[in-house]
Amino acid sequence: MNVYRTGLINAAVALICFASFTGPVIAGPAPGTPAWGAGVVGAAAIAPTIWSHRFPLAALATVTAVLMVASLTDIRFTVLVSNAGPAFGIAVAWCAYRLPWRTSLAMCALASFGVTAVGFTVWATYSRYDQNAVQLVLAIPAWLLGTLLSRERSHRNQHVDEQREIEAQKEARIRAEERLRVSRDIHDVVSHSLSMIALRSGVARVVLDRDPHEARIALAAIEESSRRSLDEVRRVLVTVRNEVSPLNPQLSDLTSLTSTAWPGALEIYLNDCSDHDNLDPQVQTTAYRIVQEALTNVVRHSHAAHASVEISSTGTSLTVRVTDDGVGAPVGAGQGLGLTGMRERVATHNGTLFTDNVDGGYRIEAEIPYE
């Protein structure tokens, strides 16, 4: 919970408690207790609970000191015996919530027994008012409640940390698979091309003097193979080049991605209707990576001239759609590492990925829930 909002809630609770427990005493003071004295001591007892979420030990010590002073000066500032009220219980609960349980148990026990001992000592000596151990009794459930809530918060934070670690591991695995795919593609292109070039150049050397026409054919094949290989390598390196984008790119970075001069003179149209400000950064990163991988596949496989990227959001999910006008996927084609990586990214958010041939091209569509 936001610290500022918690402080406001504590202040509202303190005001209500002061009006409920000290207000009647101010309106009708107890014998021997002036109204102003009851108001000052009552305000001093409840005020520390306002900052008890930030300084629990200091708040507990202050409330304890005020209760002891009230007993020693024989001031009644609540309508109940032993000046019973919520101030001490609130301070104890926050102390148990914010501090380690052993520390909070020791501090709360010391404060509870101290307030009770002073109250009974003063009552037995000179006090006009009755006394009981209500502050000690209130401290027990307050400490238990604060401790239980602290354990629940600790488990929740641990779960969040574990989820973040899982996300980081999945991201690292996806990046490793992407590096493997790029290295394999470059290896296939370069090894094949160099083999063809070496073979053709050997033929050209052998027949250069004896058959110039055959040598020219071999040299033309070398030229064609070199150009084709250069294009293939350039397409593969698009992925590497795009990986220099921010570690956690957001949807606002799509403009830069789609305006890049992609190989093959591919024209990309971006239509982003999502509300960036209200989207989780992890969801935006996933959407960016899906668009990036989809466009890379368009360049490498579809032979498309145009591609469109559409981003839209509803109340519960983000839709990412990439469509091209290329040749589409062959019937029965398998799932490459690119599509597998996209599915894994979407699966981390419990989303779904759809792929299909459309009239005159191929479409990739992802539904990513916000939660």
Q: Which numeric CATH code is attached to 248-371? A: 3.30.565.10
7-45: burial string, b at 16+ Cβ within 10 Å, e else: eeebeeebeebbeebbbebbeebbeebeeebbbebbebb
Domain limits, the chain = 3-162, 248-371
CA dihedral 105→107→109→115, nearest 10 degrees, is -160
Q: What is the pTM of this model?
A: 0.51
359 burial via Cβ count (<10 Å: 0-12, 13-18, 19+): exposed
Distance between CA atoms of 162 and 158, rounded to whole angstroms? 6
Q: What is the DSSP letter of 65?
A: H
Top pLDDT among 239 and 43 is at 43
| pLDDT average, residue stretch 85-106 | 92
| pLDDT grade for 188, boundaries at 50, 70 and 90 | low
Residue 353 has pLDDT above 60, yes or no: yes
Give the strand pairing for 352-358 and 317-324: unpaired
Choose the most confident range, by mean pLDDT, from 101-110, 120-129, 178-187, 245-254: 101-110
| pLDDT average, residue stretch 346-362 | 86
Percent of the chain with pLDDT over 90: 26
Percent of the chain with pLDDT over 70: 84
* Predicted pLDDT of residue 244: 46
| pLDDT grade for 255, boundaries at 50, 70 and 90 | confident
